[in-house]
Every structure is written in C-alpha cells, then in structure tokens.
Copies of this chain bind each other. A is one copy, B any other.
Amino acid sequence: MATSNRTRFDTIAIVGVGLIGGSIGLAVRQRQIARRVIGVGRRAASLGQARRRGAIDCGTTRLASGVADAELTIFCTPVHLIAEQAREAATHCPADAVLSDAGSTKRRIVERLDGAMPRGVRFVGAHPLAGSENRGVSEARADLFVGRVCVVTPTERTGAREAETVSGFWRSLGSRVLTMSPEAHDQALAHTSHLPHLAAAALAVALPEKYHEVVATGFRDTTRIAASDPELWTAIFIENAGPLLDALASYEGTLHKFRRALESRDARKLLQLWNQSCSKRQRLAGDDGRRRE
C-alpha cells in the first residue's frame, strides 16, 4: 500500500459502530488517516466497547454533536436509516463536509440525498464488499477492507472533490475502488450478493429439523450467510426489491433447467449444467474473497 494514497483528515465521524463501522475505525486509527475518530451510536455501552477496542477515540449518542467537527462522516447503519440520518447530519456538520455510507444498496439512498444537501454539504454513496454473518464491534478487524473492492457511486451532480475524498478514503484503507452508477451497483449486487443471501436463507428455512444430524460441510458453507442479521437483510431486500426479483427470476429459471433434466433423468444435460457451474465457479478469484491483483 503506497503511503501517497493516504488521505489525511482532522476528524472523521462513524455513525453505527458495529462490524463495518468498527473495522473502519480500527483501520483509520491504525493507519493514522485521521487525527480523531468520533463514534455515533444508539447505546452508550456499545460506544464504550468500541472505544476499548480502539475503534474510536470518543463516542456519543447524539448525532448533532458527533458530526459537528467531521470533514467526513460515514453512515454504517441499516440501509433504510441512512438517508434520514444523513439529512439530519447535514444540518449539523461543517459547511462543505462530505457524507458517505457503507450500505449494501445505493439507488434509493442516493436518490433521496443527491444534491439535496444544505451549505455545500455533499453525499457520495459507497459500498465496501466486505463483511460477514458476524456482527458487532467485537468482530471488527483493521484489515477487513484490505484487497477488497469498494464500489463508489457518484452521479452527474457529484463534484470531483467529494468523489475523490470518498474514493481516496477507501484506497487509504487498502481497498480497490470501482466507480459505478447507483443503479448499476444495485443490479450487480442483486446478483452477486442479495440473491446468494436469499438462496442461502431459503435453504436454511427449507431444511427439515429431523435431518440436522446428517448436515455436512457443503450445507454449512452454502448457508453460512443464512445466519446474517435479519433486520439488516430485510431492509436490504426491501430497498433493492426490483433488481432482486429480476435476479431471482433468473435463478428460478436455472433451477427449472436442473428440474427438467432430473425429471427426464437426462445425464447429458445434467453434465452440461455441472460443467458450466464448475468452470464459472473456478474462474472466480481466490477462495478467501480477496482478489489477487
């Protein structure tokens, strides 16, 4: 990681100090990207835990005071809360401050905020492709974003300065930044993230209890993300329902091909589908989720 990539800030605020927010805080402090990291949360106890873990310098339950000095505020809260919180923050943060987020959906959030901010404040959407089914600041890791993609979603109303503030910030945490429109992001992530979550959750729901004893590694891997936070994922599904329904239709169509081949005991067709599956899966980069660059 080149030192020249580092963006220096005086104060950064993180709203929602869980797995993602906590990992951002740890990384910013470890890499000395800001002089001070303020955590904003609902519960004083969680903020105390985040402080003890070294993820923030200080914490507050009041958004207005938390963002008062922050040149950059990052919302790491559930996607259905981000737009409203950002609107409120915009009236309390410094003029010309940049607001961003780490939400898994982008179109509806950006639509509600783009160009709608007072006093030169700007919102630029972002989504780091990292995380896990684990939750809370106790699971946070300073290297969570290293080598991972972060999608940044400027629009035609976004200025070069704020786009670079957010992109540079993510590069300074070790991420590889991809720029996409909010709509393109949501369509892509419907296929690469939201659909696999739906498919995994449906597998877990459909499993009869009596078979738990003969569950092996394959089932566990395939359903790992079925243990993801229900409220978080309900919000993501609602925010991105349209593109997710399209991705689901494509998935159901593929399942139907398998069904037809099974019904007619068509080994040749099954082999063809399995060959496609195997070669497509093998073309994806390394199994640990980090791209080899």
* A interface residues with partner B (beta carbon < 8 Å): 129-132, 148-149, 151, 178, 185, 188-189, 191-193, 195-208, 210-231, 233-235, 237-238, 241, 244-245, 247-248, 250-255, 257-259, 262-263, 265, 267, 270-271, 273-278, 280-285, 287, 289
* Given A192-B215, A221-B222, A280 and B207 contact (CB-CB distance below 8 Å): yes
**Structural contact, A206 and B253, CB atoms closer than 8 A:** yes
A-B contact pairs, 21 of them (CB 8 A): A131-B216, A149-B216, A178-B214, A189-B214, A192-B207, A195-B206, A200-B222, A202-B251, A202-B254, A204-B280, A205-B273, A206-B247, A217-B289, A219-B284, A220-B289, A221-B222, A221-B225, A223-B281, A224-B281, A238-B267, A252-B255
Give the most central of A130, A131, A185, A206: most B CB within 10 Å: A206
Q: Please indicate the chain B residues that have their CB under 8 angstroms from the CB of A200 in the complex.
A: 218, 222, 277
Task: Give chain B nearest CB distance to A281 CB in angstroms.
Answer: 4
**Structural contact, A274 and B222, CB atoms closer than 8 A:** no
Task: Give chain B nearest CB distance to A141 CB in angstroms.
Answer: 13
Task: Give chain B nearest CB distance to A193 CB in angstroms.
Answer: 5
* The 4 residue pairs across chains A and B that have the minimum distance between CB atoms: A230-B274, A217-B289, A201-B277, A129-B216
Chain B residue at minimal CB-CB distance from A251: B206
Among B203, B205, B234, the residue within 8 A (CB) of A267 is B234
